[in-house]
Structure 1
């Protein structure tokens, strides 16, 4: 992996963080006016905000685990970029729920807003498609060096694929314009990172799991 690729990842993360502030301000304008109807608790907008906040939290957790399990600067930089970007986006999603005066949890299964409530797993801690299980997280924390790098890249690739699917659902179903644009931005960014991680796995003699 060249420094150019790592620089691109860092630059993309920085751009996402800068854009986040503008998006947070814009969503307040989009949903704060008296003529604008705020989304309901069971809307796609609220469902996506709740579910993606949970999904993002695990990505942050995995990234901090691998950061402490390898000295490889390329993987550590990628993990840092993912953790910072997704932690920032998670804060935005939860902030929007506060702005809309909606609960951050729901009695409905995850992804019900996508018509997939019965398909969300929950098995061994994997609440939604693409999420790592508790067993996989424990294994990641037990590995080091190249082995930790490979498992992290495989888990994060699966995680991103699940995230792309969910964000695509919001891009199609959400009604708040800035949230829909953020979701499409997630689709584009995570697809690029999937491609980047595929190359990093290949350099390590491995490949994505699916």
Structure 2
């Protein structure tokens, strides 16, 4: 392998190790030494790839968000051209995709918050991305567009986030179907459908 390929390989191994370890035992409980041992690289090699744990967490989080945005956008694009159908498709795909792998759900909805201020910009970019999806979907359809669509989109993202946090942390989590049904209900009521 070339030097570039070796660096890319180490970086990918660190991202995969962090995906598991940042989800459990969690961001604050995971040391650089443990990340390196899991990825089978040296501590020195870690710093050739990332400036610190926060930069690695940002890379893992950004990847989770990118993948989620892609599958949600595809589901919405393939849904029938009505606001209700697109709400159901987008929410169903979001909740199912995020919860397919509990690590993804934990990183996107719990550990990103626990990481604190170091990831607030990454989290805000993610919220902006999902807000853009909601606004774009509503704006391209003929149904009535509510006032303050941007604020409504932010509130709806917050609602789904809290439902998924409950799924992650609860000793008796609600079923995925109940989370989808509740989220769809909140969206429908918000858009008066």
Structures share fold, TM-score greater than 0.5: no
Which of these two proteins has the greater Rg computed from alpha carbons? 2
Higher relative contact order (CA 8 A, sep 6+): 1
TM-score, normalised relative to structure 1? 0.31
**Greater per-residue helix proportion:** 2
Q: Provide the TM-score with structure 2 as the length reference.
A: 0.33
